Amino acid sequence: MNIKNHEILHEISRGAITTVYKARHLSLNRIVILKVLNPQWLREQDLLKRFKREARISAHLNHPNIVNVYDFAIEPDMVYISLEFVDGVSLEEYIRRHHPLSPEQIVSILTDMARALNYAHGKGVIHRDIKPANILIDDNFTARLTDFGLASFQDAPGVTSQGQSMGTPAYMPPELIRGEPAGPQSDLYSLGLTLYEMLSGHPPFRKENTAATLQAVLTETPPDIATLRPEAPGWLHELTRRLMEREPRNRPERIGQLLDILERETDTSLPAARRKKRTGRLTITALLLLAAGVLYFFPETTPPSPGSPPSITDTTRNRPDTLLARSPEKKTALPATESIPAKRGTETKKSPATRPAPPVARTGALYVSCTPWATVMLDGDSLDVTPMKRPLPLSAGSHILELINPNYKSRRFTLDIQAGRTDTLNVRLEPNFAYLMIKATPWARIYINGKYREDTPLEKSIIIPAGRNILKLVNPTLGSISDTIHARAGEQLEKHFSFKN
């Protein structure tokens, strides 16, 4: 099977939006990763623009710690990106296999990523989805950054609007969850979470569902990394804390400062950073990550006329919400070396075969109306944010849909999409927050779950998550008061406190 100038060797993975192949680029005579947009999305202009932006941004970058883009095409019947094939594993997989990583290995990977981001930021590109799954470790133990599907140029209009979030929830900076624009410090925050995971073996924020994860990023403080890896250098502990500061102003201003810290500290605290010697060639295909979470669009406007109701099961009514993890994708072991047959002078040249048209997918469509707004998760992929501009084209069959808003209870449905039919789903989310009015004498700074909110006297109640909350009131002269508040969703609470002289 051939796709344009590529001979398909085998399929690596198939996601809701793209299918990823290992292929041979015939003109370049080299092995590549070919990421192909699934047929049902070919008429989605917003998605095509994002796909084109990913290719344009990636092709704009040429750095030894960034995966290269060789080719891309956007045509009426075919959309693809051809990327450099990296023989290795993702950092996510490497941590799983080799935890605990040594400080030298961690510093080596962190330095490679700092160099990649320093270069990208210098070109005006913000990655916006730094995480271990998007970092590849090749067989020379060099870290390579990939997946610029969410990246943006700093001087270009933003690709999100108020209330819309993009990225992987467990690694998303707080400012993006709040709907604020991304900047270089957003990448630094996600890199800090990645550093925490390299040290501890697990991400600092990963809860039972997406909404709980986003809430944790905004309000919770993970276990101190010094208690999890006490033998690691103290400066590495402090660097992790600084990169993970919730407020961008408290992080380093630019990636160059991180490089300066790494250079200074490795000269004094660690032995000369040494690359871990290969114990065997890493042979697992490392670009499975490209199939999922790379293309998102967030349109807005009016719904179409409702069709007949879809066959839908609301699974949230019968059991607690669970994180919509992607189904484990099949990993394909590759041989340590791959021989490419040499062309013989005596070979008869075959006339080029006509590429068959892509198969016509049997699709239906779904329009989702949700009050208030929600991120639309389909089969583990974030595809849209309500209000939607147009129905989502979906392959016929069963799908899992989840609607997420960090301040409301998430809803999860099992859909049965029928070919040739547009269905409408109307949903109202239930609040998952409470209102708290605080009166303090004489006055106090209010901290909820370790995060500063505002000073008393309050003009109106502040919103707090439903459940258990830790309240701390601080008066610089009179000391502090702590209290635990248990709040039910939708409840209005009022608390009075008085500082003693």
What's the pLDDT score for residue 362?
Answer: 77
What's the pLDDT score for residue 299?
Answer: 39
Per-residue pLDDT averaged across 48-58, rounded?
78
367 and 225 fall within a common domain: no
141 and 253 fall within a common domain: yes
What's the pLDDT score for residue 150?
Answer: 65
Rounded to whole angstroms, the Cα distance separating 392 from 381 reads 13
| Number of domains the chain contains | 4
**Could you say which of 267, 297, 325 is where a domain stops?**
267
Write out the E strands in 121-219.
125-126, 135-138, 143-145, 152-153
- Residue 319 tokens read as 């059991």
101 within a domain of the structure (yes/no): yes
Rounded to whole angstroms, the Cα distance separating 108 from 97 reads 18
Inform me whether the pLDDT recorded for 409 exceeds 90.
no
- What's phi and psi for 202, nearest 5 deg? -150, 155
Inform me whether the pLDDT recorded for 13 exceeds 60.
yes
pLDDT band at 261 (very low <50, low <70, confident <90, very high): very high
What's the pLDDT score for residue 208?
Answer: 78
Inform me whether the pLDDT recorded for 327 exceeds 50.
no
116 and 23 fall within a common domain: no
307 within a domain of the structure (yes/no): no
Where do we find the tokens 């033998």? 231
**Could you say which of 267, 297, 322 is where a domain stops?**
267
Rounded to whole angstroms, the Cα distance separating 358 from 361 reads 9
163 within a domain of the structure (yes/no): no
**Could you say which of 84, 110, 133 is where a domain stops?**
84
357 within a domain of the structure (yes/no): no
93 and 229 fall within a common domain: yes
**Most confident residue range from 10-14, 226-230, 355-359, 424-428:** 226-230
Per-residue pLDDT averaged across 169-179, rounded?
88
pLDDT digits (tens, 9 = 90+) for 107-160: 999 999 999 999 999 999 999 999 999 999 999 999 999 988 766 554 443 333
Lowest-confidence segment of 192-206, 287-301, 372-386 by average pLDDT: 287-301
Inform me whether the pLDDT recorded for 9 exceeds 90.
yes
pLDDT band at 422 (very low <50, low <70, confident <90, very high): confident
308 within a domain of the structure (yes/no): no
94 and 209 fall within a common domain: yes
Ramachandran quadrant class, 183 (left: phi over 0; alpha: psi -120 to 50; beta: rest): beta
Inform me whether the pLDDT recorded for 165 exceeds 80.
no
The yes-or-no answer on residue 138 being catalytic is no
- Residue 25 tokens read as 């680029």
455 within a domain of the structure (yes/no): yes
- The amino acid present at 125, given as its one-letter code, is V
Q: What percent of the chain has pLDDT over 90?
A: 41
Rounded to whole angstroms, the Cα distance separating 174 from 188 reads 12
Per-residue pLDDT averaged across 280-301, rounded?
39
Inform me whether the pLDDT recorded for 304 exceeds 70.
no
Rounded to whole angstroms, the Cα distance separating 226 from 196 reads 10
121 and 40 fall within a common domain: no
101 and 210 fall within a common domain: yes
Query: Which residues, at least 6 apart from 106, have a Cβ–Cβ distance to it below 8 Å?
Result: 195, 198, 199, 232, 236
- 352: preceding bond cis by omega (within 30 degrees): no
What is each CA distance from 76 to 21, 73, 361, in whole angstroms?
20, 10, 15
C-alpha 237: how far from chain center? 24
Query: 380: domain CATH number?
Result: 2.60.40
101 and 213 fall within a common domain: yes
What's the pLDDT score for residue 166?
Answer: 55
pLDDT band at 336 (very low <50, low <70, confident <90, very high): very low
pLDDT band at 267 (very low <50, low <70, confident <90, very high): confident
Rounded to whole angstroms, the Cα distance separating 311 from 41 reads 23
Q: What is the overall mean pLDDT for the chain? A: 79
Lowest-confidence segment of 215-219, 338-342, 344-348 by average pLDDT: 338-342
Say which of 71, 112, 129, 147 is annotated catalytic. 129
421 and 437 fall within a common domain: no
400 within a domain of the structure (yes/no): yes
477 and 449 fall within a common domain: yes
26 and 62 fall within a common domain: yes
pLDDT band at 480 (very low <50, low <70, confident <90, very high): very high
Query: 24: domain CATH number?
Result: 3.30.200.20
Per-residue pLDDT averaged across 89-105, rounded?
94
Q: What percent of the chain has pLDDT over 70?
A: 77
328 within a domain of the structure (yes/no): no
Q: Do the beta carbons of residue 495 and residue 483 sit within 8 Å?
A: yes
What's the pLDDT score for residue 109?
Answer: 97
408 and 387 fall within a common domain: yes
Q: Which residue range forms the structural domain that includes residue 404?
A: 363-428
Per-residue pLDDT averaged across 85-102, rounded?
94
